Amino acid sequence: MSEPQKMLNAEEALELLLSHARPLDEVEHIHTTHALGRVLAQSLVSGVTVPPLDNSAMDGYAVACADLNPGGETRLKVAQRIPAGSVGHALERGTAARIFTGAPVPPGADAVVMQEDCTPDGDEVVIRATPKSGANIRRAGEDIIIGQEILRAGVKMRPQEMGLAASIGLADIPVYRRLRVALFFTGDEIVMPGESLQEGEIYNSNRYTLLGLLEGMGCRVADFGIVPDSLDATVEVLDQAWREADLIVTSGGVSVGEEDHVKAAVARTGKLDMWKVAMKPGKPIAYGTVHDTPFIGLPGNPVSAFATFCLFVRPYILRCQGVEKVTPRSYWLPAAFEWHKPGKRREFVRARLEARADGALAVVIYPNQGSGVLTSVAWSEGLAEIREGSTVARGDAIRFTPFSELLG
Ligand code: AMP
Ligand code: MG
């Protein structure tokens, strides 16, 4: 049992957390239609060439360029008709083939003239263009060749990756199984929405935020509900949670007050590894294990719970999920605000981007940065970083991380 007291900075905390993350190695095969948000467990190698044949990019006429009068019109016999899904035969010299988008270009043809440049006339066609060889032809294999690796293990499947896997004919793909996360909320003052509030009580907003965050990451969540501020109650729920989950996440009760029992409960059932990060919002974050199950205790303040999840829990979970890229991409952009008071802790302020008069984007921050002000998070588009000990003047470049890089 240990309870380290050292205050870590944001990088140290993340590094420490990531060093503890153990990737899931259990693989399951699922329908590609259900792959959204899942993580590919093996690289996908194509068994086919895409497109399989040279084919037409237009509705029009397939021709041999050598048959066309340079700079003038050409009348050709339409010797065949090739709709998508059928294969024509070799183009005889001096003829054209009526062809449709996606249909294979017949041998002997080296261009397709779009129908807007052609006038059909009985069984002939007048071609009013002189295309270059190769015009309007999509080449076999221009997308994928047989044997090509199209997706690497560790990729999180987005709609475009689902389509790509389907384009090589995969109806099923290997993915890591979903991470099971046990979640509970501490606080005698916490009440579920739908119930009426008594004096001194507040609604359990963290349940909704954290459920959304976890489910958005493809986790399977076991919700253990609200746990009273008592050591015994906390130990009891931890004792159930560790058996059912790959990770336990909690909200509240990790500060230093005597009503904060989570750390003591973890220390009793397992091991506590770290609990203070020099950041705002946030500060108390606990990492440890309950028996063998990793545990992350988030602060109760709604904005702190959200921000610490995005900055620490998300990369940790991504690593457990086997995702290759776990660090978000940030952008350095000019501040449209001033920050006069240098802080001891790194501040992650709720911010959005607005266009200045010159059209360039600048970072605007929500006026109330209180760690209980959830409207700031709903208002914002990302987090801007103000480093410990620094101030910001209008126009200074600051680091902005959009929520697209911090969620999901
Ligand atoms: P704690 O981390 O338990 O000291 O809580 C810090 C602040 O967050 C207190 O004002 C709590 O009332 C509030 N809080 C704790 N848990 C929740 C929750 N689940 N939903 C909304 N606010 C919470
Ligand atoms: Mg509390």
Domain borders along the chain are 10-26+178-321, 28-47+150-176, 55-138, 331-405
Quick one: pLDDT at residue 296? 97
Task: Kindly identify the ligand whose nearest atom is closest to the C-alpha of 302.
Answer: 1
Quick one: pLDDT at residue 370? 96
- Residue 8 CA to ligand 2 center (angstroms) comes to 22
CATH superfamily of 10-26+178-321: MoaB/Mog-like domain (3.40.980.10)
Give the 3-state secondary structure of the chain: CCCCCCCECHHHHHHHHHHHCCCCCCEEEEEHHHCCCCEECCCEECCCCECCCCEECCCEEEECHHHCCCCCCEEEEEEEEECCCCCCCCCCCCEEEEECCCCECCCCCCEEEEHHHEEEECCEEEECCCCCCCCCEECCCCCECCCCEEECCCCECCHHHHHHHHHCCCCEEEEECCCEEEEEEECCCEECECECCCCCCEECHHHHHHHHHHHHCCCEEEEEEEECCCHHHHHHHHHHHHHHCCEEEEECCCCCCCCCCHHHHHHHHEEEEEEEECEECCCEEEEEEECCEEEEEECCCHHHHHHHHHHHHHHHHHHHCCCCCCCCCCEEEEECCCECCCCCCEEEEEEEEEECCCCCEEEEECCCCCCCCHHHHHHCCEEEEECCCCCECCCCEEEEEEHHHCCC
CATH superfamily of 28-47+150-176: Molybdopterin biosynthesis moea protein, domain 2 (3.90.105.10)
Residues contacting ligand 1 via CB (< 6 Å): 185-187, 189-190, 202, 204-206, 251-253, 255, 299-302
Nearest CA residue ID for atom 3, ligand 1: 252
Q: Specify the fold of 331-405.
A: Beta-clip (2.40.340)
Q: CATH assignment of 55-138?
A: 2.170.190.11
Quick one: pLDDT at residue 5? 63
Quick one: pLDDT at residue 315? 98
Task: Kindly identify the ligand whose nearest atom is closest to the C-alpha of 207.
Answer: 1
Ligand 1: which of 206, 260, 285, 309 to mutate, most ligand atoms within 8 Å of CB? Answer: 206
- Residue 368 CA to ligand 2 center (angstroms) comes to 22
Number of the ligand 1 atom closest to the C-alpha atom of 254: 2
Low-confidence ranges of the chain (pLDDT < 50): 1-3
Quick one: pLDDT at residue 1? 44
